[in-house]
Structure 1
């Protein structure tokens, strides 16, 4: 984005919320009025109504287009005839992803300058047009099964025919940016050398068409038939543009010889002017028989003829004497002056003639705008989909099955970006995923930090997204039921400028997700609730999982968490399943296996991760001691007493009692009361938050025993 147009009264709000650091142009509110937009657009398209363009009902789009057209007029962009249509991007045709999701998945940009994006992994395009279209494909994955499969068929054709794919890549590398040429042509900012080079582009388009028609599959031949070789345009360029055309019209000599006789005449004078004058002098010597006649030049009266006194009686009366010397006289003639004037003015004449011819040529070339734009669309599509095929061959991707079910079944899936950034000899550990709306709607994923939970979440979202762009996917096998929305709540951040803490940002994003669920949504929650206390975090995470499970949408969800208390959800809700990222503990050290396995994780391994991070040993030892106390049943209050110093014998005994979890010494009446309290609890109907409160009461009762 290079510049943004904003209604003046919304400028502060825009600057506060957008986060974009680009120039902003403001206009008064009338520029953003519907009536003004219709008026300025009808003027441009020469219509009385916008109904024929199919955009009349898109009020917001009309207003935006009108504001842009007003900006173009105001900034004196008068040559905009290449803008010959408007069309709406129907959001119902694409997966809905908000800015948070696009940023979290690092699709086309990353907040980390050193990070690799999905676009960078997939981009093996040969043209800037293809690169731009690939970015669009990634940001706007399709929802229509037939359109997805058409893209897949083209990718498959290139994938199966390596020789054709390589040939197409080679041809495309010589085509360049047709869209940019069209734009420069429309604004009359295109230079002669660019037009000369564009002849090669047109020849490459012809070569591409011939290659696809001869060697391509049926669907590639269908694409090729849409290409227009623009033979008329090529003929114009061959005729009018000089072979050594300069990169700027100011340098001149860009119109080919033979185009205009007058231009050729002035070029002859400009190039061979002195020879032409010498030839004229020779003719005068022969005509007048003045053998001593010489040609001279000075700044006072330009070119002159010098005649010695011996021959001055032979000077014709038509010659005009300008200077008398001791032994000679100097003359000028009308013919000589005319030639001189032509020589001196020839460059200006050449400039004017070339400019007029060039301007007329551009008008003729603009007639090819529509077929060129159509060519650009086809070429960018072929470039993008051929790039998908190249990536699939090189990285071992497979063609996914895309259907209208609500299932996601991925076998041995891999993260497309991370696997490309691994060091030599490292292998990415693949993992499966199965989600549906009947048996396994919500997957709780537990495991220690750094184990790969976040990568697993992103990996599956990216595979779904890739499948719906028409690309092959990094997996052994994949079947994707079309997803219409992808939501993510990944990472921790705050927005201090808007007075929002990390936890507030978390809750805002969670609220946005829960209020926009659909039957085909895919939701990724990563460590939700860590911005607040443990009790609050667990309560909210539990309640959110419960809400999603109970929702009529049955939205498919991956919920990664370090709250292993949430594994209890599997016992309450039938479509919630526990999985964990495997970790192997060897002599107190942990090895991350990166394998997602069925079942919950009952240990966080937080201290082990702290060791890997280089936390001082004294801190690690104290953390282990405190962990033992807490796992032994000690309360926070008791823990505070032990932390003051060495406990006395009585406190030591109490600590041991905590660690042993012994019920010796408990009164029978106390145990009976505790038993009755537990039996009265209705596990089937109790809300998660109430369950935690009851658990807290049970703990207090146990402390009194």
Structure 2
């Protein structure tokens, strides 16, 4: 095909050929509804082919909405529904996800030959399938339709469930639906209610043969993601992962003080797995990663193997010094996202620069250790370029900012030899006291004064200062009060202001100095600001490296907390056997929290657990 006949695909062209494929392609008939609030998200979707309503319990979502992105990619819905009252960032993320964007397609599908569109060959057929997969409708349902009571009422009105008894009272219906959906999860109820409202309003798959027209829902099930285990609040409490207070703080994305929060948690709420590991976290972003580990447990065996490998690596006595060194550098890492954000808007203060510098130093040292760690981690690899770029930033900072002088004067000071013009102006500014003394002596002779002073004020310039005692009253015929007025008129001085019985004047010599020397302090500030702006630009340029290093360090921090607990309580690594059916076989198993209730580990009696294979899977656990 002649390359000159390549055409860009647009919506009209897609719609033109949409009819040719409508008989051969099954539409993706999934309607997905999200409700997001206070850093938590819940979703529900209706599968039109299965006639089934699926829901998820509310779960913590990160700032990048990775869980939401995973759900959309797994389900591939043809319609996404949400409320305009949800956070604007979340709504915008959904809009971008639904946007018809050819950039998301492979390079081979960005352009297609004109001749290929005119013939329904296999190549164009596959191309149209790829294009259709990227089309998602986005719908905003009015926020009042997500009212909690109204959403509950819509769920109770579902009458097409296969398991719903024919004769059931309203009270029994409440108990029945409570066994299917957790009504304590408000976001879940709102997402289901909003979805049901959309299905009803748009008459999706109505059964016309029924006396009451409604979308048929034969089953209500909980969403199961491929590699993610979704738990509700009751499960977290029953498994002692979180208690009530832990659960609230786990969702709360606030800038609390790490040490104060950890101490507070250990004093009062140390009977959960979350607090057991939290007491050993070293960074604020490590707390966020631990929270994510606990709230969204993974079922990905590859990730679990990687975590076990790095825990084994640090538990090895040969790597104990490396573990201590890693913890040392992690403790110096600060949460710098707010600093980088301020850099994009304005200049940072001295404390911000010091935190950023120390964190960059720590990141550089951790990059040097990463060769033995990154092979075990599932996040983005930290290659050698990171080390080079962080080393560049550290050296650039050290060359640009004089930390010693900055700490002494409690303000940012640019180092010498960065700018010749800046160094010259600074030298002149440092010599001002002697220079002003010379100027004062000249002015005293010029105006026959008993004494005077000269000063320099930023934005005003050089000034002559005279008080009444400095005037030689023998030279004036007027009384005492009019002496200053006569002195100004006689010598053609420009009055500027009066302060503490002192008069401030602009003399011809002061005006000449303003023109020749200029406003030194302002010029110095402008030159220094220009240098600092260039420094900030370099740090902002590599802000994406900081984001990846934060994620890298957060995971290392969490795994080191696991290492600390495993070493202290003598835990062992579980082994996976994929050659047999599902089973559990544990010898001398110990509950990590129950054994902490005993005065000594020797008083706790471990137990063997066998479930599956030759042993029954059903267990009845009793206690005295």
Given the two structures, how large is their TM-score scaled by the length of structure 1?
0.45
Q: Which has the larger radius of gyration?
A: 1
